[in-house]
Amino acid sequence: MLNNVRSNDRLLFIIVIIMVLAGPIILAPFGAGYPALMQRFAIYGLFAVGFNILFGLTGYLSFGHAAFLGIGSYAAVWMFKLLTMNIIPAILLAVVISGLFALLIGFISLRRSGIYFSILTLAFAQMSYNMAYSVLTPLTNGETGLQLSLADPRMLDTVQNANQLPLTNLFGLDMNAVFWNPTLLGYELQFNYGFYVCAAFLIGGFYLSMRIFRSPFGLMLRAVKTNRTRLNYTGVNTRPYTLAAFVISGMYAGLAGALLASMEPLAGAERMQWTASGEVVLMTILGGAGTLIGPVLGAGTIKYFENIFSTINENVLHGWFSIFPEWMNSSLTWMLSPFFGKGWSLTLGLMFMLVVIFLPGGLVQGSQKIGGWVKRRFGRTPPEPSIKPAE
C-alpha cells in the first residue's frame, strides 16, 4: 500500500513538472501563453498550494491569507528600494516577515476554531488592509502603492542609467525578458525568464507540500481535521501543529507576494483586501481541497476566467458564430453575452456552484470520475478462467 502511494506521488510530481515547464506550449492554443498570465498561473498556484496545507489538512478556513500576500509584496519592494534589484534577498525577506506575521496572527486566531477562527483572520486581514491604506502611509505609500524611485539607494547595485529605473533580475537575468520566441503550429510561443523562476518555486512548493501531506506531521493535521476534540481528550496538544501549519501556509503566501513584486515591482493595499482572501478559498475548493494538485488546477481555472473570459466581447462571439445564419448568430450572441466579458464572474459562479453540488471533491474528483468512466467504457477486462470439471 505504501509503495503504491509513493509511486503515485512520483508519477503525479513528474506530471506536474512536465505541465508546468511546458506551460508556454500548452497554453498558447488557449490564448493564455503570454508571459504575464503564465507568471500569474504559477504564482497563484503556489499561493493556493500553501493555503491548502492549512485548509485542506486541518480544516481551518482562513479568510485573511491575503494579508500575508500583501506583506510579502511590501517587503520585497522595500528590499528592491534599499538593497538590490536581485530577487533572492527580496524573496528571503518576504518569507521571513510573512512567517513572523503569520506566527502572531495564528497565535491569537487559533485560540478559536470554526467560524470564529475564520472571522478573526478576516478581521486581522481587514485591519492590515486599512493600516496599509492609511495609517502606515510612510511605509506603504497609501492608495498610490509602493513603487520604485530613481532616488532609492539600492546599496548593492551599481548605477547603470541614472535616468531609468532598474529592472528586477536573478543574477543579471531580466525577469520580464523573453529568451526564446519560436512559432509552433501557427502559434507564437514566448519563453520568459520570469515565468520559469515562478515555475521553479511552484514545483519546489508543490514538492514540499507533497512531503508534508505524507509525513507524520501531515497525518497529525489530518487527525485534527477529523476530530480535534477527541485528540485533546487523549492528551494531545493540537495547537502547536495547527500553528505550524498556519505559519507554513503564511510563508507560502508571502513567497507568492514576493514573486508578484519580483515580476512587477510595486505593492498596493488591494492585494490585502478580503476579496483576494476569498479568491484563494475559491481556488482551493474549486480544484479540490485536501488534494495535492487540486489547488493548482483551481488557481489556473480562476485566473484563466479572469484574464481570458473577461476579454471576450460581443464582436468575438459574433465571429465564433459567423458560420450560422444572421438570425441564429444574433440569438446565440444575445444568449451567451451575459456570461462573457464583464459577466465572466457569472460563469465562474455557476461553475463553482455546480462543482460544489455535484463534485464536492472539486475538479480532481471530476477528472477521477471521467477516468473511471473511460476505464469502464473502453478498458478490457480479462476473461474469467474456465474451470474444467474433474474427471
pLDDT tens digit sequence for 293-343:
999 999 999 999 888 888 888 888 888 888 888 899 899 899 988 888 888
Report how far residue 344's alpha carbon sits from residue 342's, in angstroms, rounded to the nearest whole number: 6
Q: Please say whether the beta carbons of 305 and 347 come within 8 A.
A: yes
In the chain, % of residues over pLDDT 90: 60
Q: Specify the residue for cell string 475548493.
A: 285
Please report the pLDDT score of residue 224 as a whole number: 93
In the chain, what are the domain boundaries? 2-273
Please report the pLDDT score of residue 97 as a whole number: 97
- Residue 377 in this model has a pLDDT that exceeds 60: yes
What is residue 319's three-state secondary structure? helix
| 237: exposed, middle or buried (Cβ count in 10 Å: 0-12, 13-18, 19+) | exposed
Mean pLDDT of 208-219: 94
Q: Which three cell numbers stand for residue 176?
A: 520580464
In the chain, % of residues over pLDDT 70: 95
- Residue 364 in this model has a pLDDT that exceeds 50: yes
- Residue 391 in this model has a pLDDT that exceeds 60: no
Cα 61 to Cα 112, 114, 118, 257, 360, distances in angstroms: 12, 7, 6, 20, 16
pTM: 0.92
Tell me how crowded residue 288 is: count the other CB atoms within 10 A of its CB: 27
Closest CA to 259 of 78, 35, 20, 42: 42
C-alpha angle 352-290-366 in degrees, rounded to nearest 5 = 45
- Residue 66 in this model has a pLDDT that exceeds 60: yes
76-96 pLDDT, tens digit per residue, is 999 999 999 999 999 999 999
Report how far residue 290's alpha carbon sits from residue 237's, in angstroms, rounded to the nearest whole number: 22
Closest CA to 248 of 42, 57, 6: 57
pLDDT band at 380 (very low <50, low <70, confident <90, very high): low
Mean pLDDT of 197-205: 97
Sequence-ordered strand ranges (E) for the chain: 146-147, 169-170, 173-174, 178-180, 183-184, 187-188, 191-192, 266-267
Q: What is the mean pLDDT of the chain?
A: 90
Report how far residue 216's alpha carbon sits from residue 161's, in angstroms, rounded to the nearest whole number: 53
Report how far residue 204's alpha carbon sits from residue 69's, in angstroms, rounded to the nearest whole number: 18
Query: What sections of 83-169 are H helices per DSSP?
Result: 87-109, 114-130, 137-140
Mean pLDDT of 145-172: 87
Please report the pLDDT score of residue 228 as a whole number: 86
Mean pLDDT of 18-28: 92
Mean pLDDT of 24-41: 91
Please report the pLDDT score of residue 390 as a whole number: 43
Please report the pLDDT score of residue 3 as a whole number: 60
Q: Specify the residue for cell string 465564433.
A: 320
- Concatenating the DSSP letter of every residue in 228-268 gives HHHHHHTT---HHHHHHHHHHHHHHHHHHHHHHHHHS-EE-
Q: Specify the residue for cell string 472571522.
A: 119
221-274 pLDDT, tens digit per residue, is 999 999 888 888 888 889 999 999 999 999 999 999 999 999 999 999 999 988
Please report the pLDDT score of residue 386 as a whole number: 45
- Stated length of the chain: 391
Q: Which residues contact 190 (CB under 8 A, 6 or more apart)?
A: 24, 33, 34, 35, 178, 181
Report how far residue 298's alpha carbon sits from residue 285's, in angstroms, rounded to the nearest whole number: 7
Report how far residue 324's alpha carbon sits from residue 316's, in angstroms, rounded to the nearest whole number: 14
